[in-house]
Amino acid sequence: MAQIRNRIRHCIQLAWLLVLLVCAQCAVANEPPTAEQVVFFEKSVRPLLIDQCYKCHSGRTAKGGLRVDSRGQLLLGGESGPAIEPGRPDDSALMAAVRYESYEMPPSKKLDDDQIAILARWIEMGAPWPGDDGQVARRPAAGQFSDEDRRWWSLQPVSDPTPPTDLNHPEWCRNPIDQFIAAQQDMQQLAPAPEADRSALIRRVYFDLIGLPPTPDEIRNFEQDPSPEAYEHLVDELLARPEYGERWGRHWLDLVRYAESDGYRADNFRPQAWMYRDYVIRSLNDDKPYDRFVQEQLAADELFPDDPSAIAALGYLRNGIFEYNVPDVQGQWDNVLNEVTDVTGDVFFGLGFQCARCHDHKFDPLLQKDYFRLRAFFEPMLPRDDVAAATREEQERYAAQEAAYQEKSRDLLDQLNALLKKPLDDVFEDTIKRYPDDLKRIIRQSPAERSAREEQWAQFALRLVKYEQDRVDGRLQGETKDQVLALRRELAKLDPLKPAPLLRPMSVTDVGTAPPRTIIPKRNIEVQAGFPTILEPDDATIAPPENRPNSTGRRAALARWLIRPDNPLSTRVIVNRVWQSHFGRGLAANGSDFGTLGGLPSHPQLLDWLTSRFVEKGWRLKSLHRLIVTSATYRQSAQHPRLAELQLQDPTNRWYWRGDVRRLDAEQIRDSIFAVTGQLEISRGGLSVLPDRPRRSIYTRVMRNSRDPLLEVFDLPQFISSSSGRNTTTSPIQSLLLINNQTMLKHAEHLAEKICKGSGEKTLTARIDELWWAVLGRVPSVEEREQAQASVIRQMQIRTGNLETEGLPSGVITGKVPGRDGQALLFQAKENSERFLISNDARLSVDDFTVEAFFQIRSVYDSGEVRTLASKLTPNRMGSGWLLGITGKTSRRKPQTLVLQLFGKDADGKSQEALFFSDHHLELNKPYYAAASVHLARPGEPGNVTFFVKDLSNDDEPLLTITSALTLVSLDGNDAPLALGSRGESGGYFDGLLDDVRLSNDALAAGQLLISSDGIMPSTIGYWQFEPNPGLFQNSLPQGLPIRPGRQVQQSSPADAAFVDLCHVLLNSNEFLYVK
């Protein structure tokens, strides 16, 4: 018995020992990781898991049920049990798998020995995971959420923490932001950098708040200001300037995928889009409360229908891409609704809703049902282009004036409508043939017969009908065409009676009070409008708006939910975006992904404190900016006395212990070039201009498929989807464009001219000093000054004796026709502009001929005068020769169409002038190819003139042709030069870009044209391409006739040319392109 009792006692002691060991192990497992363990995990373990395992084993649909994206999930394991045994790597299934001892993971390739050793060491440590609570995860049922899901940081209520006060260096702090930053630096054993000097600080805050460099005078004034509040006063001044809205408007426009074209192949221009851009800029400059800003963009028509200034805000819902000219209208409309759902999820929720469109989100607590609950808010949406942004009084006044005009013009309009009825009906029938039978039936129905969804489809399909009907003139022929054009000319005389058009932004309304159903595809489940289930499981409560009887109120309900002060997502998201734009990264790293893949914020308490202050102070963005940029954190220098040491501890500057050096955005680079060279035009709002005009980039036209080369090479977004941040790439193409581009050379010339102008002769030293101030905002060092002087002298010596190969006429500017490679000549329709002439030669005396050109015209004359593409014409009244151009606004035939003027003799030997019009309407700022082919009459063979026109902005557009009879049997020759872009010295100046021009001594057929077969043919007389090779003015035809400038070329002296080279170098310098 004693022996048995001893055995029992021994077993009990052994059991207690095991219990104590297990408890000790658990205690160790539940202890927070040490600083060294955190560093090891973040630098070695987490990146390895993300790179090698996350693709298959993270999120809600992980393979084999195994997730490796948290410690609790690894402890839970998958179908084969727990993946790790903390402290025991050899007993862990994860180690057996990566060693290829059981499952072989990853299956594509075994990890190398160092990677396997990292995982083994980590498990042996106890598998420390920052932020883990030590608990084993629980596997949720399908459609349900785990405790881990519910605890995710971005879904928690916004807290209002007290700024830390137990700090190593409290004297460094300027405001509570710094207290939060300093507390984390203390934990990481880091120390902040000293404050940046004033020259660096003013450049940084100027670019951050207004997107432009400070002028030399502004820098000097700030550096010499003795006030201790000088910086704070500067911040207030910048926030009050109109340039603030232009800079911060660009951030918002990136988010909402703003562009001025449709995208896809056609990429049609949107002439009303600029009104949304101006709305954003105006709202930011007015410091409109963000909650109002959000409501207007989502539901201005439901919430503020009597505020005309808010109508343009609805452009947010119209910024997406779409393709109006496809037969699959139903599919295209589905894409439109999905797209606005995706962008809204990104912009306002900071969650990747698009990943839940086809199934529950793999990583975040978003159900497929949640995607369609969000889409249901937009389901009744109907695009509108006819809603006036005008007060009631303005609309009444417009209606009265329009009625008076209609009364005065009724007879003419009735005649015109009668003539156009059949052609327009024919266009309607021909267009809807493209659609399937069910859609044809819907289009033919009256609105009252259509369901809500059918009305949306019909209105979308009718956009193509309208597009084709607007071009009905191309179908008119003979007497009908002549009558229509004559009536339009008579109507044009009554134009002074027309009221000025009201602004009609791109907007939306609801299709009616009964919304179309929202159905989850394949599952055929109907859902109602609602918010993420994990936050609001019930359907949204929606009340139709009282002052908008024909609307559902759905978008208003969404807007009100998003601007609730207790909303944990939308409030944090906008605050984080502002921080990101100032520091280059957010407190939460991914501004549009507050889910699992976006990771944890570096300073969650600071983010919540800023969010609480933002809402508390009335959702005002300017006060948030001021708070951030006046902090000691923001003011830090990019240099640090312990730089090398601290970079090893925190190489990415996650804990904000110094300022970052950041490259300027694409628009900041372009705007800075125009600013420092003295060209920037200060004009605001209104229609966009083409990128070669010296307005701020935010006012330049943004076409999705045809982008400015400078902006594109410096990482301009595609504007296809929401962009929460800019990429910053470094490539040889950037350097090549800056150093070799003719436009950059012109900028350098402007800069040199700006530096050198003024009274008296400036010494080279004085010019160098002024150049450094203009471009870099500082005095050059002694070494820099000496190097610059030596460079100028060396370049002057190189250039001496080689002037005949240097320089271009001062009036020559190059550009790029959208959609085409290479460069074009820019004509600016000025009396003193350069003339481009080809001297008279026997080869230019032609009978049959074809003249072709690629071009983009920017304006036409207000009169009937013609903007010339090419001419060989004498200036006297009884002219001779020919001219091809574009008619003016009061043309005797039709405005903005091609015209060919010929002088010659008919079969009876009589001198005649013959005018031919293509009657194709040429839109301004759109790229075209045009040709006129002339075949003179011969005995028994009639002559003809054929126009060829192609819209280059849309690859699907056909080559349009029209042929007219020609009775001339010969052309009157002359000794005038062939002129491009003018009638020589007698006017007719072209305005726009002129690209390849080819002249042939034959009447070419369609298959022989440049648009079909590029290059030189036996009939080619001249082919001028305006490229550096073989030369801007050279003929691509060997031994061909070159262009000679019509004015005296202003050659620079070697000294002046060398100084231009120095200016060019500084515009390429890193110090100009980067901000510290």
Which range is least confidently modeled, 498-512, 613-627, 757-771?
757-771
Q: Any alpha helices (H) in 256-289, and if so which ranges?
A: 274-285
Residue 704 CA to residue 146 CA, distance in Å, equals 42
Instruction: Give yes or no for residue 831 having a pLDDT over 80.
Output: no
Return the pLDDT at 16.
Answer: 42
Residue 373 CA to residue 502 CA, distance in Å, equals 37
Torsion of CA 788, 790, 796, 798, to 10 degrees: -120
> Which of left, alpha, beta for 1031 (phi over 0: left; psi -120 to 50: alpha)?
left
Instruction: Give yes or no for residue 18 having a pLDDT over 50.
Output: no
Q: How many angstroms separate the Cα of 69 from the Cα of each of 99, 128, 527, 678?
A: 20, 13, 31, 54
Return the pLDDT at 58.
Answer: 77
Q: What is residue 916's three-state secondary structure?
A: strand
Token pair, residue 461, equals 């399909």
Q: How many angstroms separate the Cα of 585 from the Cα of each of 333, 367, 590, 620, 633?
A: 35, 29, 8, 21, 14
Domain layout of the chain by residue ranges: 25-139, 289-389+505-563, 397-502, 666-805+1059-1075, 814-1045
Residue 751 CA to residue 677 CA, distance in Å, equals 4
Token pair, residue 653, equals 């500057």
**Average pLDDT of the segment spanning 119-147:** 80
Residue 799 CA to residue 1053 CA, distance in Å, equals 9
Instruction: Give yes or no for residue 441 having a pLDDT over 60.
Output: yes
Q: Which residues lie below 8 Å from residue 284, measured CB to CB, with a gap of 6+?
A: 244, 245, 248, 249, 252, 621
**Average pLDDT of the segment spanning 1031-1039:** 89
Residue 340 CA to residue 337 CA, distance in Å, equals 5
**pLDDT-derived band at 805, boundaries 50, 70, 90:** very low
Token pair, residue 325, equals 């000219």
Which range is least confidently modeled, 9-13, 732-736, 829-833?
9-13
pTM of the model: 0.87
* Backbone phi and psi for residue 83, each to the nearest 5 degrees, phi listed first: -90, -25
* Backbone phi and psi for residue 314, each to the nearest 5 degrees, phi listed first: -70, -5
Residue 755 CA to residue 773 CA, distance in Å, equals 10
**pLDDT-derived band at 630, boundaries 50, 70, 90:** very high
Return the pLDDT at 637.
Answer: 96
Quick check: 820 and 995 in contact, CB under 8 A?
yes
Half-sphere exposure of 76 toward its Cβ, with a 13 Å CA cutoff? Answer: 20
**pLDDT-derived band at 20, boundaries 50, 70, 90:** very low
201-217: buried (b, 16+ CB within 10 Å) or exposed (e) per residue?
bbbbbbbbbbbbbbebe
Return the pLDDT at 810.
Answer: 62
Quick check: 58 and 596 in contact, CB under 8 A?
yes
**Average pLDDT of the segment spanning 41-70:** 81
Spatial CA neighbour of 611 closest among 581, 655, 558, 567: 567
Instruction: Give yes or no for residue 2 having a pLDDT over 80.
Output: no
Instruction: Give yes or no for residue 461 having a pLDDT over 60.
Output: yes
Q: Dihedral of CA 1041/1045/1047/1051: which sign? A: negative
Per-residue pLDDT reduced to its tens digit, 549-580: 899 999 999 999 999 999 999 999 999 999 99
Return the pLDDT at 15.
Answer: 43
**Average pLDDT of the segment spanning 53-63:** 74
Q: Any alpha helices (H) in 504-642, and if so which ranges?
A: 554-562, 570-583, 604-616, 621-629, 632-635
Return the pLDDT at 803.
Answer: 46
Residue 902 CA to residue 919 CA, distance in Å, equals 17
The distance of Cα 148 from the centroid of its chain, to the nearest Å, equals: 37
Give the DSSP letter string of 1033-1076.
T-BSSTTPPPPEESS---PPPHHHHHHHHHHHHHHT-HHHHEE-
Per-residue pLDDT reduced to its tens digit, 919-972: 889 999 999 999 999 999 998 899 999 999 999 988 888 899 999 999 999 998
Token pair, residue 458, equals 């019909």
* Backbone phi and psi for residue 103, each to the nearest 5 degrees, phi listed first: -65, 150
Residue that wins the pLDDT comparison between 587 and 920 = 587
Q: Which residues pair with 898 in a beta bridge?
A: 886
Return the pLDDT at 809.
Answer: 61
Spatial CA neighbour of 1044 closest among 868, 841, 898, 843: 841
Residue given tokens 């060396």 in the structure block: 794
Per-residue pLDDT reduced to its tens digit, 637-681: 999 999 999 999 999 999 999 999 999 999 999 999 999 999 999
Q: How many angstroms separate the Cα of 1073 from the Cα of each of 202, 228, 251, 738, 814?
A: 15, 30, 19, 11, 23
**pLDDT-derived band at 83, boundaries 50, 70, 90:** confident
CA angle 605, 611, 614 (to 5 degrees): 145
Quick check: 336 and 322 in contact, CB under 8 A?
yes
Spatial CA neighbour of 505 closest among 849, 267, 318, 272: 272
Q: What is the DSSP letter of 195?
A: B
Fold classified for 814-1045: Jelly Rolls (2.60.120)
Return the pLDDT at 984.
Answer: 82
Element spanning 890, H or E:
none
**pLDDT-derived band at 132, boundaries 50, 70, 90:** confident
**Average pLDDT of the segment spanning 67-87:** 84
**Average pLDDT of the segment spanning 834-844:** 90
Q: What is the DSSP letter of 315?
A: G
Return the pLDDT at 811.
Answer: 67
Per-residue pLDDT reduced to its tens digit, 240-287: 999 999 999 999 999 999 999 999 888 899 999 999 999 999 999 999
* Backbone phi and psi for residue 95, each to the nearest 5 degrees, phi listed first: -70, -40
Return the pLDDT at 49.
Answer: 85
Per-residue pLDDT reduced to its tens digit, 358-409: 999 888 999 999 999 999 999 999 999 999 999 999 999 999 999 999 999 9
Return the pLDDT at 1050.
Answer: 57
CA angle 244, 776, 1053 (to 5 degrees): 120
**Average pLDDT of the segment spanning 288-304:** 97
The distance of Cα 264 from the centroid of its chain, to the nearest Å, equals: 15
**pLDDT-derived band at 1046, boundaries 50, 70, 90:** low
Quick check: 66 and 83 in contact, CB under 8 A?
yes
Return the pLDDT at 883.
Answer: 93
Torsion of CA 121, 123, 126, 132, to 10 degrees: 120
Helix axes 198-209, 242-255, angle to 10 degrees: 60
Return the pLDDT at 880.
Answer: 85
Instruction: Give yes or no for residue 24 having a pLDDT over 50.
Output: no
Return the pLDDT at 22.
Answer: 40
Residue 1045 CA to residue 1048 CA, distance in Å, equals 7
Q: Which residues lie below 8 Å from residue 301, measured CB to CB, with a gap of 6+?
A: 311, 314, 387, 507, 508, 509, 510, 548, 551
